[in-house]
Amino acid sequence: MTTTAPEVRLTLEWDQLLERSPLGHFQQTSRWARVKALDGWQALRIFLKPDQVNEGGLQLLWKDSRFGRIGYVSKGPVLPNENQVTINLMLHQLRATADALGLRALIVQPPDASRITNDDLSRHQFDSNPVPNVIQATATINVSLGQSANESKMHSKTRQQFRAAIKRGVVIRLGQRTDLPVFFSLMSESCRRQNTQPNPSRLESLEALWDAFAPHILLGFASAEGEDIAGLLMIAHGPRLTFWKKGWNSQGAQLYANCLLMVEAMTWARERGFSTVDFAGLDSEIAETILAGRTLTEEQLRSRDNFNLRLGAEPHKLPKAQLLIINPIFRVVLQTLRRCPPLDNLLMKRLGAG
């Protein structure tokens, strides 16, 4: 399919709007669409006003699945002027597009700082319950405060660990595209220890990500005696550097390599002019516990998420992803499934909107 000059211009303008907007995230960029194309997703951009990108819009990803044709709007819509009129108009256009594409289901999660509410989505027949397995909270660090301020917010144990890593000979280096197989191996080893599947599941997906986002992508390694023992893959967008994926082997854990790598990556972020480091997710119950001023349980304190919090990260709740079943009969079925969590989770896995 040939891309026309107007489409190229609108795509460029859309990506530029996302860079400027505080609501902009890399998941709405054309770069992300190119990455997701490897898994069969197609992209369609809908603007609030035809050919007027600065008024805002959204990027819809859609694909055919076992459930039927499904759509996913991650971190959208992006509307510079969010009000009830623009929100309703955008969601109305999205619904019309979903009908035209023949979607059976559509998942929408607004941008992190969006004022689009659950009620706004419910008015357009989205189910009021949040979609399982979609990140509902994250943790961030304001690195623009400076190194001293950031270190002062770290847990004393974290400061001890990254200093111990230096004494034990751990060194930090920036990686290149050719280092992606090493990183994928470290990430896969971490997932095996945690009894989870690596995501992305293929090295080719990481290579596609690199090709789409370069030079707005960083790969860091912690090494000991010439061997890479921990890795961190970061995606840059606007003022935010997202710590997207990480991995480490058993030696990396023993030498606190991951801790030192994270601290050094925060320095990279600061030196490159980013104001925010985003850890790309946080257990929602941990976020709710901290934001409510309650004490974390022993189990929560042992969690992987608490490692990021000890670096000085602060929790934030995110807008909840909500699901629209286009067919009214299936919508009734969904409401029935929601009374049975195992069946509800199975449906969401079938949708596969990752």
Q: What is the mean pLDDT of the chain?
A: 91
Query: Alpha-carbon distance 190 to 326, whole Å?
Result: 39
Please report the sign of the dihedral spanned by the C-alpha atoms of residue 282, residue 287, residue 289, residue 293: positive
Q: Is the pLDDT of residue 203 over 70?
A: yes
Query: Alpha-carbon distance 122 to 129, whole Å?
Result: 10
- From residue 274, give the alpha-carbon distance in Å to each of 49, 128, 167, 185: 31, 35, 29, 28
CA torsion, ordered 216, 219, 220, 221, to nearest 10 deg: -170
- From residue 9, give the alpha-carbon distance in Å to each of 5, 16, 208, 321, 322: 6, 11, 23, 30, 31
Query: Alpha-carbon distance 67 to 90, whole Å?
Result: 26
Q: Is the pLDDT of residue 168 over 60?
A: yes
Q: Is the pLDDT of residue 48 over 70?
A: yes
**Predicted pLDDT of residue 352:** 47
**Predicted pLDDT of residue 252:** 73
Query: Would you place residue 6 in the very low, low, confident or very high pLDDT band (cuts 50, 70, 90)?
Result: confident
Tell the CATH topology of 5-133+320-351.
Answer: Aminopeptidase (3.40.630)
- β-strand 105-109 against 68-74: which pairing, if any? parallel
**Predicted pLDDT of residue 264:** 97
The one-character DSSP state at 311 is T
64 against 341, higher pLDDT: 64
Q: What is the pTM of this model?
A: 0.90
In CATH terms, are 5-133+320-351 and 137-317 the same topology? yes
Query: Would you place residue 159 in the very low, low, confident or very high pLDDT band (cuts 50, 70, 90)?
Result: very high
Give me the mean pLDDT over the 51-72 stretch.
Answer: 93
Residue-wise pLDDT tens digits, 18-36: 999 999 999 999 999 999 9
Q: Is the pLDDT of residue 187 over 50?
A: yes
- From residue 46, give the alpha-carbon distance in Å to each of 78, 97, 103: 11, 8, 15
Give me the mean pLDDT over the 50-79 stretch.
Answer: 94
Buried b (16+ CB within 10 A) or exposed e, 302-334: ebebbbbbbbbbbbeebbbbbbbbbeeebeeeb
**Which helix (DSSP H) or strand (DSSP E) does residue 264 occupy?**
helix 257-271
Task: State the first-to-last Cα distance of the chain, in angstroms, to the nearest integer.
Answer: 25
Query: Alpha-carbon distance 348 to 339, whole Å?
Result: 14
**Predicted pLDDT of residue 219:** 98
| CATH top class, domain 137-317 | alpha beta
Measured from the Cβ of residue 151, the count of other Cβ atoms closer than 10 Å reads 15
Q: What percent of the chain has pLDDT over 90?
A: 79
Query: Would you place residue 353 in the very low, low, confident or very high pLDDT band (cuts 50, 70, 90)?
Result: very low
Residue-wise pLDDT tens digits, 112-146: 999 999 999 999 999 988 888 899 999 999 999 99
Domain boundaries, the chain: 5-133+320-351, 137-317
- The beta strand positions in 89-152, using DSSP E, are 105-109, 137-142
**Predicted pLDDT of residue 7:** 84
Query: Alpha-carbon distance 114 to 108, whole Å?
Result: 12
The per-residue DSSP string of 65-90 comes to ETTEEEEEEES--B-SS--HHHHHHH
346 against 169, higher pLDDT: 169
**Predicted pLDDT of residue 76:** 97
**Residue 19 · residue 238 · CB < 8 Å:** yes
**Which helix (DSSP H) or strand (DSSP E) does residue 53 occupy?**
strand 52-65
CA torsion, ordered 334, 336, 338, 343, to nearest 10 deg: -80
